[in-house]
Structure 1
Amino acid sequence: MSEKLSFNKALPHIIAVAIFVIINLVMYSPMFFEGEKLNQNDILQGAGANQEIIGYRDKTGEEALWTNGMFSGMPAYLINVQWSGELTKYIQKVVSLGLPSPASHTLVAMLAFYLLLLIFRVNPYLAIAGGIAYGLNTFFIISVEAGHIWKVAAISWMPAVLGGIVLTFRKKYILGFILTAISMALEIRSNHYQITYYLLLVVLIYGLFKLIEAIRNGGIPDFAKTIGILSIAVILGIGANLGKIWTAYEYGKFSIRGPSELSTNTQSTSGGLDRDYAFAWSNGIWEPLTFLVPNYYGGATQEVVSMNSDLANGLKSRGAGQGQIRNFVKSVPTYWGDQPFTSGPYYLGAVAIFLFFIGAFLIKGPIKWWLVSASVFGIILSWGDNFEAFNYLIFDYLPGYNKFRSVSMTVAIPFLCMPLLGFIGLQKLIDEGFEKNKKQFYSAVISIGAILLLLLISTYMLRFRGAVDERLGDQAWLVELIREQRASMARADVLRSLLMIGLAFGIIWLWSKEKIKANLAFFLFIGVIAIDYLPISKRYLNGDNFVENPKKSFFSKSAVDERIDQDNSHYRVLNLNNPFNEARTSYYHASLGGYHGAKMRRYQDLIEYHLQPEMTALIEELRAGNTDLSSFGVINMLNTKYIKFGNEASQVINNQSANGNAWFVDTVVESSSPDETIEKLGEIDTKTTAIINTAKFKFEANTSGAGMISLNNYSPNKLDYTSKRDNDGLAVFSEIYYPKGWKAFIDGNEVDILQANYVLRALEIPKGEHKIEFRFEPAAYYIGNNVMMVCSIILILLSVGGIAYIITRK
């Protein structure tokens, strides 16, 4: 009897896992059944950035902690570093059942939200519907399509962290501790601190309501005990990732997320991003309507439109041929919102929004106000500079908030909180009975119905003007056709949302009238949720996104790459085609450019003050047929041996004026500040002169005399040189200066590294012959890795011991 009872209890969870796996097989079917892979831009760009690191690992078995692949050199921590102390990755593999990415993250998201709903005592079969809703909303799916894998990994663990905290506050101390510690460790492991920061905001709001409740009920001792237990769990989770956190924090102070040293860069002196950069992607005030109606703002920046659409017929009536129409409808500029461009709308789900209204009307007390206030807060933050009065204040004064860009990403908060309140509300309706809550239920139905009715009416009244319309010039007739298409798309999705909500309402009503059994109602509800999400998700993640080998086509070696690769020396390449927003060049060469959201602050300054102006001048010189590059001092000091401007073998210049790997200078210009250093940099001959900020770096080298210095061996973490000189001298190296980890040795004796020419390294070298060595040995990596190992072992042992204790006690 007990075995049968145990199986009956386990059956819903078995069914949940089975349904989640099946949905993942459907969503990613080309990956599972055809051997294809997602063609994700960010993943491909990341592969370019990773190539030197992976190649070094495969060749030596060691980790490249530094890479010259991007931006003339930067730490590899935030690109692709593996940590031997990171044991939590095995927990990730177990929970995701060994599925490949990104299906593994989608499965974890569904399981984590399912678990969160179970913790809130939602029926397991309803919780299955909730798991589907959380794992298939388009905020998640569009992030998968774009290749923001660490972002979706962080999103997937948010519900589990929240569930552990809730359990602990309910005095389920052992289970709460275990779940919080493990899920927090895996949340941080995801390495997307922006999403983790938004989770922290949700938790702080929850904690505030629990504190108020404790004060009112005299429960401060229990509150303090809970906070203590959670603190230990979080510390353990942090400890299991200490190396990652430490290195990211350490590097963050020197990246564009840290303060600028230039007084002219006033917006960055506070230690965060530029406000304009951070708010570049801000939702319009009404754009969260896409939570309910996906195509209300036109969908993605460009959408495929049917050949039978009014737009296609309108083009045909204007005399356009079938071929012209077919090409045009493949990429119609349908989006008319405030963002520069978008991969698609953030659709939370019509049924989930309907349930949110039910929860808002039915639920009373702190849980409701916590989830509602957090949701509203997240939506307001997503408005960015469309609500300056509030969001500029938050950006300037909320600790840590100014480290993150793309504030539209704060929708992660309502996408967690709104469906949670919705399913809790539906469970309350079931538990207390329909008759008792009939008024609140119908209030929710009327409210959501009224909103959709107003939106339907608006599709006949609004003009659907978009910023892109101006690019179509005087083609007023075409603009009008596109606006009519936008209205048609919005109208169709309003009606679709009405249908989805109607189906959900029908199931609840039939159930309440005992026209259908509970189990049938549950599975019908799961079906409606699946029907609501799958087709919308498939708009942005479908067979067209999968190819047989995306890396092969993206990184196919061009003739110019073949030509450059014949050179086996250590050099850099400048790709004149959008160099600071691509990492394809980095796949084969050390690049001046790259693709990363946290390049070095000083290097960004160099780009803005010197590299971009020099590139503009260089392009003009090349157009005039002049290939003498001796006047481009900054490009040359970065050892830019090749200038690439196409993929043909002839579309590359071998720059004979590059300064080389290292050189002795004749003159040192002293400066007193970073501003003076970067300004004078454009005035000197970098081959013979160096600029050093003597307010920060002291030197006594004699710059007179002849000498030579050469690179003998290059690896990401270690560079070996030999020098020969008549007198003591100052050598400048075409390597980026970074104070946290790089060490220099002359004949085995450690010496100080100077910063020259704003971004480069320099050394005072004695006369005579010497061996010079640079080694990258960051303490944050080596110490952090050991702490990670210890904390991971403690975490695993405590979890196993705690679960064993619970089982034996029962």
Structure 2
Amino acid sequence: MSRSPERSGQKRLVLEDRLKAWWIAPAIFGLFTLIYFTGFIFSNEVMEGLDTRMEYYRGKESAAEKIADLAPENWDRYLGGTPISGFRQPKYFPLYPIYVFTTFHRYLGWRYFFATFFAGLFTYHCARGMRLRRSTSILAGFGYASSPTLLTFIYPGQEGKMLAMAALPLMVCALDRIIDTRKPLHTFVLGAGVAAGIYTPHLQMLYYALIGLGIYFVVRLVQTYLEERDVRAATVRTALAAGGIVLGLAVGATGTFPAYEYTKTESRRAGDKGQGVSLEYAQSWSLHPEEIASLLIPEFVHFFKPQERQNLYWGRNALKLNAEYFGIAIVFFAAMAIARTRTDKRVLPHLLVAAIAMAFALGSHTPVFLFFYHFVPGMNVLRTPGMIAFLFAFPAVLLAATAINRLLDNQTDVDGSRIRLFGGISCVLFLIVAVTPDTILSLWNSLFWSDIPGDKLQVAKQNLHSLSTGAWLGSLWLAALTGLTILRIRKRIPAQTFLLLLLPILLIDTWRINKQFLKYVNPDRFPDPDVYIPQTLGIIESDTDYHRTWIPAGDVQLPESVDLVTVDYHEPFILRRYDRATKHLMQLLQSGQRNETYQLLNILNVKYLAIAAQKVQGLLPALVSPEQTGEEVTLRPGIEAVATERNVYLFRNRNALPFFYLATDAIRVGDEDQALQALTSARLDPTRQVILEQEAPLQLAGVQPTGRVVVDAFNERQGIVRLNVRSDQNSLLVVSQNFHPYWSAAVDGQPVEILRANYVWQAVPLPAGNHSVTLTYQDSLAVVCRWISLISTILLIAGLVFFTRGNRDSRT
């Protein structure tokens, strides 16, 4: 007599029993992550990331210096002077202790590692909270942790996004437990998840996660209320959930509210002259129909392939350095789950989150983004709505898990004929794409993008072979998934066999995308600046004057100890006016306005210029004498070439204005646009004049200034400057660092107003005589937030310990 695979209930539970110990899930995801990052773990290599750059000398300072850096800081001379108190605070993320014992890029590798590990583990716990099997929950963890939606952020170097994505399952799990149990413990878990998201420190990803949490909670709360009709229970759930969010924001206060205030008021995104001022800016880097099609066939619109350095992306954005794909298996089973929206209450909350997130990600293609832009605070200074893709990837994983769980439980209401029909139609569609990719491309563009630019169309045609290959693979996976599902419905294979056959399909399908974004680099191949260009670095660092260095082509690496005028990477927290001034400098250089370029260099305190030999011709027009004739290069008076090594030229500019100097005349302009233009005016004498946007509060003589400025103290970290000044005339003391409203000044102990001078700098009015001048940076909001974070962190830890012990006691 034959024996059914499901005949023995004990046999059906063997796998579940083996996964029962608390340490099994962490061990499984630890092993999975270890295998994925073997090339990093067992070598000295690091993972290449564009945003993390190739400055492999970073993080080689002592452990004591790194620990000391944990103390809060206010200001930095970085990029003309930057309010660090208004920056995000990644050093307070729980993984920071790893950095104390390794270099910066090795630390980043560990952040990638733990983002993947926690994405899997937290998804497991989230699925368990939905009352899914342990085996199903582990499969769900693999689905999210291995998804290209998460792992392809490695090559762009965006580990902060990955960590924020990893925190999402923890927060969803805590919300579920709050609704199901109404226990305070889960309020503190939710708070921990929100705080971790803040210090990742990708605040935009956390913001999107909180929006998703809000939608999810509202749907679940309404569902629960309609079942119970208990107002008091609904109120308790709301209070516990709101308490968790508030607690998390309080713990992360120092990394949230000062950064939000700075972004809205002073950063490059602020004001009517900043970047975040238009719907067009906010919609930039959204997804388009082509990217949605790539959720089924990732090669459809494709992406930049890091391993081959080959661009196959032909979509509407400028480039594509990641993929939103999360696996055809997840899409297949998620579709099965969606078919049960009416009968399974777990489906609707995740489905709505995914649908709203996808509509939002499509930017101008749907009205959803417009609603958020106009009515949700902060959306008008953000961009890249496509970044929200993780909010439809993660729900899709959980939806797929619910469908798989039903198959494992062998529930009899699963309709095999519908599965055959759905799988068969899907396979046929994929095969049509595989056989006729050129026809599909033409049809697609006629329907969705009739005015596709010629260069994009050319790339799309070059991509047809990859599209055909991806479609063939997709049809193969769909056929296998359909067959496995039918066999399971008919009880031809046991639950554990179904899982063991499903897992490699899931992992192989996502690995073929992920492997292209895992690029390892040996940092020893890139010597530190003090080894590569020791003479250049030695000259700059031995100069005791406060000064700046400009690398106009961004092709020379200098350590963070060098005060650079500009950087060659995207810095969202640069002060808006300084960003505009340095862009104006590049425009002047590129347009050949050499006198104007040189004048602005002097005003910006640029004493050194470093550039690679192959780019030096582009810089020379600003440095050569205006009277030069013939082919021989004659540098301007005050400009000298002081070093040439390893193809790097270093020039010294002795005409750069000092960091602190006196001016005895002012040119008054009406607004900031006029101020920027006046900086390069031929009638401006920068050695004695400054540009003001208000009247000077004292009478200025207009003569050549005489006097002396002695620096008594300059603690840039704390934001304290003490100067002893002798001014022989009424003067303006110019401080060549960015004007910021949190700076205050006192002359001989009496407060005075700091004026905005030369568009970006500070000026303190001084009457003739000897004076003691003190400038102090005070960010009251940051100070309050630091105290809130400290107190809330203590409360969070105490609450977790207390309620965890109470929960264990109640179980006992």
State TM-score, norm by structure 2: 0.82
Question: Any residues of structure 2 matched to 1:402-481 within 5 Å, and which?
Answer: 402-431=380-409, 433-442=411-420, 444-446=422-424, 448-463=426-441
Higher RCO (C-alpha 8 Å, min separation 6): 1
Q: Could you say if the C-alpha distance between residues 653 and 469 of structure 1 is closer, same or farther in structure 2, counting changes exceeding 3 Å?
A: farther
Give 1:224 shift. 2.0
Q: Could you say if the C-alpha distance between residues 117 and 138 of structure 1 is closer, same or farther in structure 2, counting changes exceeding 3 Å?
A: same
Question: Any residues of structure 2 matched to 1:129-528 within 5 Å, and which?
Answer: 129-210=139-220, 212-213=222-223, 216=226, 218-256=229-267, 258-262=269-273, 272-297=276-301, 299-302=302-305, 330-364=308-342, 367-385=346-364, 387=365, 391-392=369-370, 394-431=372-409, 433-442=411-420, 444-446=422-424, 448-463=426-441, 485-528=462-505
Distance 2:753 2:326 in 1: 55
Q: Could you say if the C-alpha distance between residues 712 and 274 of structure 1 is closer, same or farther in structure 2, counting changes exceeding 3 Å?
A: farther
The residue type equivalent to 1:764 in the other structure is P
CA contact (8 A) 1:279 1:407 kept: yes
Q: How many residues align?
A: 744
Residue of structure 1 equivalent to 2:560: 587
The residue type equivalent to 1:530 in the other structure is L
Q: Could you say if the C-alpha distance between residues 614 and 713 of structure 1 is closer, same or farther in structure 2, counting changes exceeding 3 Å?
A: farther
CA contact (8 A) 2:547 2:563 kept: yes
Aligned match of 2:84 in 76, 82, 102? 76
CA contact (8 A) 1:56 1:63 kept: no
SS in 1 for 2:612: coil
Residue of structure 2 equivalent to 1:687: 687
Question: Any residues of structure 2 matched to 1:702-781 within 5 Å, and which?
Answer: 702-703=700-701, 706-711=706-711, 713-717=713-717, 718-740=720-742, 742-747=743-748, 749-781=750-782
Unaligned runs of 5+ in 1: 305-329, 473-478, 622-628
Distance 2:653 2:452 in 1: 41
Aligned match of 2:606 in 626, 640, 644? 640
Q: Residues 345-386 of structure 1: CA distance to partner in whole angstroms, max 9, x if unpaired?
A: 32210101111111111232654333223223222332334x
The residue type equivalent to 2:359 in the other structure is I
Q: Residues 444-488 of structure 1: CA distance to partner in whole angstroms, max 9, x if unpaired?
A: 43454354345335514145899999569xxxxxx97x7665212
Q: Residues 138-184 of structure 1: CA distance to partner in whole angstroms, max 9, x if unpaired?
A: 12112122211111111110111011112111234234323212212
Is 244-253 or 670-679 further displaced after alignment?
670-679
Give 1:12 shift. 5.9
CA contact (8 A) 2:529 2:537 kept: no
Is 762-771 or 502-511 further displaced after alignment?
502-511
Q: Could you say if the C-alpha distance between residues 553 and 421 of structure 1 is closer, same or farther in structure 2, counting changes exceeding 3 Å?
A: farther
Residue of structure 1 equivalent to 2:623: none
Residue of structure 2 equivalent to 1:616: 590
CA contact (8 A) 2:19 2:25 kept: no
Is 194-203 or 510-519 further displaced after alignment?
510-519
SS in 1 for 2:765: strand
CA contact (8 A) 1:633 1:685 kept: no
SS in 1 for 2:560: helix
CA contact (8 A) 1:668 1:689 kept: yes
Distance 1:105 1:170 in 2: 27
Give 1:641 shift. 0.9
- Answering whether residue 42 of structure 2 is matched by residue 42 of structure 1, we say no
Q: Residues 272-328 of structure 1: CA distance to partner in whole angstroms, max 9, x if unpaired?
A: 35444443423231222222222122x333576xxxxxxxxxxxxxxxxxxxxxxxx
CA contact (8 A) 2:548 2:606 kept: yes
- Answering whether residue 543 of structure 2 is matched by residue 567 of structure 1, we say yes
Give 1:238 shift. 1.3
- Identity rate, percent: 17
Residue of structure 1 equivalent to 2:641: none
Residue of structure 2 equivalent to 1:319: none
Give 1:215 shift. 6.4
Q: Could you say if the C-alpha distance between residues 586 and 599 of structure 1 is closer, same or farther in structure 2, counting changes exceeding 3 Å?
A: farther
Q: Could you say if the C-alpha distance between residues 104 and 645 of structure 1 is closer, same or farther in structure 2, counting changes exceeding 3 Å?
A: same
Distance 1:92 1:221 in 2: 47
SS in 2 for 1:719: strand
Distance 2:723 2:249 in 1: 40
Is 348-357 or 212-221 further displaced after alignment?
212-221
Structure richer in helix, relative to its length: 1
Residue of structure 2 equivalent to 1:65: 74
Give 1:195 shift. 0.9
Aligned match of 2:572 in 589, 594, 597? 597
CA contact (8 A) 1:722 1:769 kept: yes
Q: Could you say if the C-alpha distance between residues 567 and 345 of structure 1 is closer, same or farther in structure 2, counting changes exceeding 3 Å?
A: same
Residue of structure 2 equivalent to 1:322: none
- Answering whether residue 512 of structure 2 is matched by residue 535 of structure 1, we say yes
Residue of structure 1 equivalent to 2:522: 547
Distance 1:91 1:424 in 2: 37
CA contact (8 A) 1:361 1:440 kept: no
The residue type equivalent to 1:449 in the other structure is C
The residue type equivalent to 2:522 in the other structure is V
SS in 2 for 1:651: strand
CA contact (8 A) 1:53 1:64 kept: no
Unaligned runs of 5+ in 2: 1-12, 101-106, 614-643
Give 1:733 shift. 1.1
Distance 1:736 1:52 in 2: 28
The residue type equivalent to 2:562 in the other structure is H
Give 1:517 shift. 2.5
Distance 2:278 2:62 in 1: 30
The CA RMSD measured in Å over matched residues stands at 3.8
Q: Could you say if the C-alpha distance between residues 49 and 679 of structure 1 is closer, same or farther in structure 2, counting changes exceeding 3 Å?
A: farther
CA contact (8 A) 1:573 1:591 kept: yes
Q: Residues 164-215 of structure 1: CA distance to partner in whole angstroms, max 9, x if unpaired?
A: 1121112342343232122122122212111112112212222332454466
The residue type equivalent to 2:241 in the other structure is L
CA contact (8 A) 1:661 1:711 kept: no
Residue of structure 1 equivalent to 2:631: none
State TM-score, norm by structure 1: 0.82
Q: Could you say if the C-alpha distance between residues 708 and 59 of structure 1 is closer, same or farther in structure 2, counting changes exceeding 3 Å?
A: farther
